[in-house]
Amino acid sequence: MGVRVEEVRLSLPHIELAAHLYGPEDGRPVLALHGWLDNAMSFARLAPRLDGLRIVALDLPGHGHSGHRAAGAGYALWDYAQDALLVAEQFGWQRFSLLGHSLGAIVATLLAGALPERIERLALIDGLFPLTHEPELAPAKLGEALRAHLQLGDKRKPVYASVDKAVSARLRGGYPLSREAAELLASRGLVPQAGGYTWRSDPRLTLPSLLRLTRAQAEAFVRAVRCPVGLVLAEQGLLRDPHWLALLEQLPFTVWRQPGGHHLHLDDEAGAAAVADCFKALFAEA
């Protein structure tokens, strides 16, 4: 689309992060947070369509060109929320909006619920509620996660002979997405290595969470949001839990249901345009 994108590095007290910067310096500040095992390229098709916004599309810690967390640290949702807040502080944003996809949408919602006075808008793509545990399952789940952490040292990241093979592997794993989307994410997510290419992402990202919120806690965060919220739901997306869909009907959020899969904003230009039209309406509100 011929849109200028600036690559920036951000030195936080505990980690160095990378980001793509879009839009005019005097645009409305927006922090964009991608999904699990994605990177800042998640917004490559969407961000240029959102005129008048100053969008900082992060590589979250452990993803893309950002640093990995220190040994012994983890990747809990609340850690990402703190990262996002510190990035906003670095830019001097007292009030800002959040654009999030999947994991990024969940983190954005937690931050907006925790600090409603700081967040102007929430623009969410196929994500809102975190994965949860019933309280009685917490001990067993913590045990499973601790054992998995101990075993991580015995695992090696896969090496692919070519970029194309790495892209094909991405298409076979996790959430469905188009080859074009996988290629865009791979352009930032792969690093050359002896014998081919491997993913830059921190292997610890694939470990189970040590603890998860309960449903009651997750609902409390969502109900604590005070800003206007626009949620794009993909028809072939991930938000299908009847409990959460019923709760969504009770919330004062604007919900748009769009054709496509979980990465509808990245899969093709038509999907990106449709999502952009939804969010233009959100940001046009007084």
Q: How many helices (H) and strands (E) does the chain have?
A: 9, 10
Which is the catalytic residue, given 102, 168, 178, 187? 102
How does strand 229-236 pair with strand 28-33?
Answer: unpaired
CB 236 within 8 A of CB 247: no
Residues contacting 74, CB < 8 A, separation 6+: 204, 210
Is residue 167 exposed (0-12), middle (13-18) or buried (19+ Cβ within 10 Å)?
buried
**Active-site annotation holds for 102:** yes
Listed in order, strand segments (DSSP E) in 66-134 are: 96-101, 119-125
What does the alpha-carbon distance between residue 223 and residue 102 come to, in Å, rounded to a whole number?
Answer: 18
Longest dimension (CA), the chain: 55
DSSP letter, residue 160: B
Between helix 163-172 and helix 179-189 the angle, nearest 10°, is: 120
Residue with tokens 């997750």: 218
Task: Tell me the catalytic residues.
Answer: 102
